[in-house]
Chains A and B, each alone.
Chain A
């Protein structure tokens, strides 16, 4: 299979997308605040959607950052300590971002079910996104210290001091050591990854076969109830997948199967968001056929999720992962 991108391309991708989490979370937070001032549920929904989409986009930001680090390795004028510090800060902020994105999704799901946003989830997402903005801004700032000669030395010493800040809250190197030094961790994560996949696909299969028209007799609203289980399966796979990626990133950054898997995963994530908030499907009675847009949505969700599984399973065969 021809390569999609080399390390330099991926480093470029990182530069193209790495400001989205900071700016996007600020935008989402701004929309949530505006929705409170204007008392508009519609703006609130848009705010949750923006935060969910930014959480989704943060995945390629993080994994392309790993490729950028590999591309920069050993080059002159690069502060190696700043790369490590940036990676650790990025990992922490990435986790914060995903937790915030999860609650934004939960708020959207609840909102779709009961017809209005709940205060508890709104304020949870609000507080989490403030913390996320702080975490991603700090990560970006340390990232800026890696190689920007125009601000190096002299009067500028970095917002968080020169080079590495004090002991990181979360260390990617420590996670890597944990996975590689304990022989049980990798197989355990693989097992959980397959169980999470089955759970996720079970939900996707029911919801989308219904939309396509194969499982008539269930209303869409009744299968909508299962969506959190799909996200639970995704959560298991996200965590275990990150263990693989952090422990052996060089197997994935240049693996074309991994690139395709990430692209399909992003599209599947957008698809899941549409499924969650989709009005035409929500009002679909048990025996009725979905409109064409619904059928296309369901069919694309099935193709995308099988595609994600295909490229995941093919990581060692098309690419070089074990």
Chain B
């Protein structure tokens, strides 16, 4: 199954084509999605930790839509990159770790949205558990970026 993905015409094109629109563009879109998703998540986490307190929490709600857009972009481009290198990635422990960290990151964002953004409007009280959630979210996203970036260097 994995080998047949490796051998697929799509995979051959993505890796074998010298076109700038093949592998380089997919990889760049994946980087763009990461930057938007993680960037927005870090901003919400920082706000919950007390930086930029004057920013009304409710006005940040629109960032969740931005994050979902970036998430879907990266799911699509990430799947394309996976197909190109299926056998190697599926058996690479770091890749599994990366997927788990991204899933965990998404869970923290959904939990933050449920507990602080879906309730009544301002003023929202950011209590201890919310702050802890923000710290966990911050660390998980940094770890997810780290594991993703290291895929290029670890066997």
A interface residues (Cβ-Cβ under 8 A, vs B): 186-187, 190-191, 194-195, 197-206, 214-219, 221-223, 225-226, 229, 286, 306, 309-310, 313-314, 317-318
Question: Known: A309-B35, A313-B28, A314-B28. Is A202-B40 also a contact (CB below 8 A)?
Answer: yes
Q: Would A317 and B20 count as touching, CB distance under 8 A?
A: yes
Chain A minimum-CB-distance residue to B62: A215
Q: A202-B39, A215-B59, A216-B59 are in contact. Are A225 and B31 (CB under 8 A)?
A: no
What are the 7 tightest A-B residue pairs by CB atom distance, in nearest-first order?
A202-B39, A217-B59, A222-B54, A317-B24, A198-B38, A187-B153, A201-B39
Task: Give 30 A-B contacts (CB < 8 Å), ordered by A residue.
Answer: A187-B150, A190-B149, A190-B153, A191-B146, A194-B34, A194-B148, A195-B146, A197-B35, A198-B35, A198-B38, A198-B42, A198-B145, A201-B36, A202-B38, A205-B36, A205-B66, A206-B63, A215-B59, A215-B60, A222-B55, A223-B55, A225-B51, A225-B55, A226-B43, A226-B46, A226-B51, A286-B56, A313-B27, A314-B24, A317-B23
B60-87 CB contacts (< 8 Å) to partner A:
60, 62-63, 66
Say yes or no: is B136 at the interface (Cβ < 8 Å to chain A): no
Closest to B46 in A: A229
Assess whether B62 is in contact with A214, with CB atoms less than 8 Å apart: yes
**Total residue contacts A-B, CB cutoff 8 A:** 107
A217 with B54: CB separation less than 8 A: no
Tell me the complex Cα distance, A286–B57, Å: 12
7 extra interchain contacts, Cβ-Cβ under 8 A, other than A309-B28, A317-B20?
A187-B152, A195-B142, A202-B40, A215-B59, A215-B60, A218-B60, A309-B31
Q: Which residue of A lies closest to B149 (CB)?
A: A191
Please give me the residue from chain B that is nearest to A322 by CB atom. B152
Chain A residues positioned under 8 Å from B41 (CB to CB): 202
The CA of A317 and the CA of B14, in the complex, are separated in Å by 13
Determine which residue in B56, B59, B60, B154 has the highest number of CB atoms from chain A within 10 A of its CB, and name it: B59
Asked if B54 contacts A221 (CB within 8 A), the reply is yes
- What separation, in Å, do the CA atoms of A218 and B43 have in the docked complex? 14
- Main secondary structure on chain B at its contact with chain A? helix
User: By the criterion CB–CB under 8 Å, are A306 and B32 in contact?
Assistant: yes
Contacts of A206 in B (CB 8 A): 40, 43, 63
A202-B42 CB under 8 A given contacts A222-B52, A223-B52:
yes
Cβ contact within 8 Å between A313 and B31:
yes
Chain A positions within 8 Å of B152 at CB level: 187, 190
Contact, CB under 8 Å: A201 / B149:
no
A266, chain B: closest CB distance, angstroms: 20
Check B58 for interface membership: any CB of A closer than 8 A: yes
A225 in contact with B146 (CB, 8 Å): no
Residue of B36, B58, B60, B149 ringed by the most chain A CB atoms within 10 A = B149
Residues of A within 8 A of B52 (CB): 222-223, 225-226
User: Within 8 Å CB of A202, what residues of B?
Assistant: 38-43
**In the complex, chain B residues whose CB is within 8 Å of the CB of A198:** 34-35, 38-39, 42, 141, 145
Among A191, A309, A314, the residue within 8 A (CB) of B145 is A191
- Contact residue among A186, A218, A306 (Cβ-Cβ distance under 8 Å from B55): A218
Cβ contact within 8 Å between A219 and B46: no
Smallest CB gap from B28: residue in A: A313
A286 in contact with B59 given A187-B149, A225-B54, A317-B20 (CB within 8 Å): yes
* Complex alpha-carbon distance, A199 and B23, angstroms: 25
Please measure, in the bound complex, the distance between the C-alpha atom of A216 and the C-alpha atom of B38, giving whole angstroms.
21
Residues of chain A lying within 8 A (CB to CB) of residue B145:
191, 194-195, 198
B93-125 CB contact bits vs A (8 Å, 1 = yes)? 000000000000000000000000000000000
Known: A198-B35, A202-B40. Contact between A217 and B58, CB under 8 A?
yes
CB–CB B62/A203 < 8 A: no
C-alpha spacing A225/B55, complex, angstroms: 9
Greatest chain A CB density within 10 A among B35, B46, B60, B145 is at B35
Q: List, in ascending order, chain B residues with CB within 8 A of A229's CB.
A: 46, 51
Contacts A202-B42, A314-B24 given; does A309 touch B54 at CB 8 Å: no
